[in-house]
């Protein structure tokens, strides 16, 4: 059954799926650093995975660097060869998370990371049976902008299952005082963006697949029209 994620204003105790604010991580778990520039990555969103989806009972937490804009890190690295039905090496997934991290933790292991400096403005993510204003993404079935690029499995045999997608052109609004993101300029050099929001993978449509059991190996794909 397809389900949609809708952003909503409002902040209260106990929210577990949201954009921005402070991430929930295991106690003393470090905020990821960028493997390209060494700076601390920014927290974008987290999802408490509902029943019926791979890794339910866990929370997915997504970070990306906003302090550099290298050509090799604008979107997740792509496999060579056909993508539909691909067998994805576990080493490939481990190695390509250089300027981003997608982490999974058991729900009972995580607490709010109070020392993290908020960069992205907080918005709650609500589950809905239908599309509506404030659409963030979808669960259940991938809706491809271009051709179907569903992978088959990891090279160790575990199937890769669709978890969610984030819609293209979603703007992660930043709080007052947050640094503006670094972007790639028209001549291929890094420059400071004048936008009051961050872009996750330069605002491409994002598809997230993951194995359901064992150590998580998230596989990310992007498309754009």
Number of structural domains (the chain) is: 1
What range defines the domain where residue 101 resides?
3-79+97-142+166-208
Residue 58 lies in a domain: yes
Does 135 reside within a domain? yes
Q: What is the pTM of this model?
A: 0.96
What three-state secondary structure class fits 93?
Answer: helix
For residue 127, the 8-state DSSP code is E
- Summarize pLDDT for 83-142 with one digit per residue, the tens: 999 999 999 999 999 999 999 999 999 999 999 999 999 999 999 999 888 999 999 999
Residue 192, in any domain of the structure = yes
The per-residue pLDDT for range 151-180, each reduced to its tens digit, is: 999 999 999 999 999 999 999 999 999 999
Is position 152 within any domain?
A: no
68/36 Cα distance (integer angstroms): 8
DSSP annotation of 173:
E
Within a domain: residue 104?
yes
Work out the number of other CB atoms within 10 angstroms of the CB of residue 51: 6
Domain annotation covers residue 147:
no
For the chain, state the CA radius of gyration.
17
Residues 121, 172: Cα–Cα separation, whole Å: 7
């Amino acid at each position: 059954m397809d389900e949609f994620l809708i952003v909503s204003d409002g902040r209260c105790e106990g929210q577990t799926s949201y954009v921005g604010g402070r991430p929930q991580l295991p106690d003393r778990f470090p905020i990821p650093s960028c493997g390209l520039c060494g700076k601390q990555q920014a927290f974008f969103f987290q999802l408490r995975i509902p029943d019926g989806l791979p890794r339910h009972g866990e929370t997915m937490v997504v970070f990306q660097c906003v302090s550099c804009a290298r050509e090799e890190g604008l979107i997740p690295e792509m496999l060579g060869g056909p993508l539909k039905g691909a067998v994805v090496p576990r080493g490939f997934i481990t190695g390509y998370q250089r300027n981003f991290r997608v982490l999974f933790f058991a729900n009972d292991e995580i607490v709010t990371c109070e020392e993290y400096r908020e960069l992205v403005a907080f918005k709650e993510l609500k589950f809905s049976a239908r599309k509506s204003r404030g659409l963030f993404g979808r669960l259940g079935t991938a809706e491809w902008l271009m051709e179907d690029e569903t992978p088959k499995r990891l090279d160790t045999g575990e199937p890769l299952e669709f978890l969610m997608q984030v819609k293209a052109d979603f703007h992660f609004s930043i709080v007052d005082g947050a640094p503006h993101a670094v972007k790639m300029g028209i001549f291929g050099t890094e420059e400071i963006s004048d936008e009051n929001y961050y872009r996750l993978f330069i605002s491409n449509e994002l598809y997230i697949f993951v194995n359901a059991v064992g150590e998580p190996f998230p596989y990310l794909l992007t498309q754009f029209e």
